[in-house]
Amino acid sequence: MRPDLEPKPIRPRLLVSVRDADEAALACASGADLVDAKDPENGALGALPVEIVRGIVARVGARVATSAVAGEPDEEASLAGCVAAMADTGVDYVKVAVWPGQSDAALQAAAEAASGRLIGVLFAEDGLALDALARLSAAGFRGAMIDTRGKTGRRLGDWLASDHLAAFVATCRTHGLLSGLAGSLSVDDVSTLAAHEPGYLGFRGGLCRDGDRRNALDPVRVSAAVEAFRALGRRDAA
């Protein structure tokens, strides 16, 4: 894995979720740190067809890091297969939903299907499950994110208090996991959430036209997000 994928201590990195190669090119050209392939028409973790993900990887090349959602498989038996199919596209990271009750064997099989590249996504609506992070680390996951399952306008901070988010990031760090925070975020959330020092902050709807995640990315909103992240770096370097 490229060493430049590791988060710098100065600021978190900007993850922008995209639905096709054109959006990926826009996010990359604007200054996003990570381009994340997902289907916004299919829930919080809708997977795109592998052909589209391959096109995204080819379009951005090595200019930025890439990730792709492997979906929310209903049964443990299909988890590793979904992860393997998305890992085969060449993305740097694969993201997959993690839910209470998954067996250690299933988690380990999924991690082996994308060795050193698997990110587990927990949902804020399920509450803070810090014990899950130790299990993900032991299974071989590379990182963990918190997102919101429902895209109804309720934001990450509406589900989890600031100290809970700080505890999530700190526990990820304790277990050697990359960390990410997402969930209907807006540019106004950048400064507050950056204080928790996550590896990544993830955006989709807040950077789309009219704030609707099903619409195309808005270049003005993407640029505003990039500038907010750069301002963090300038502030910390001062």
38 as an active site residue: the answer is: yes
User: Quick check: is 8 catalytic?
Assistant: no
pLDDT of amino acid 71? 81
Fold topology of 12-233: TIM Barrel (3.20.20)
Nearest Cα residue to 161 out of 195, 112, 127: 127
Secondary-structure breakdown of the chain: helix, strand, coil percentages, each rounded to the nearest 5? 45, 20, 35
pLDDT of 150: 75
Q: What is the pLDDT of residue 7?
A: 46
Residues lower than pLDDT 70 in the chain: 1-10, 151, 234-238
| 176 in Cβ contact with 148 (< 8 Å) | no
Tens digit of each residue's pLDDT (9 = 90 or more) over 96-150 = 998 878 899 999 999 999 999 999 999 999 988 899 999 999 999 999 999 998 7
Structure tokens at 29: 């050209």
In the DSSP assignment, the letter for residue 208 is B
Q: Could you give the angle at the alpha carbon of 147 between the alpha carbons of 222 and 180, nearest 5°?
A: 70
How many whole angstroms separate alpha carbon 120 and alpha carbon 146?
9
Which residue among 19, 38, 142, 196 is the active-site one? 38
Of the candidates 11, 59, 95, 213, the residue annotated as catalytic is 95
Amino acid 72: pLDDT: 78
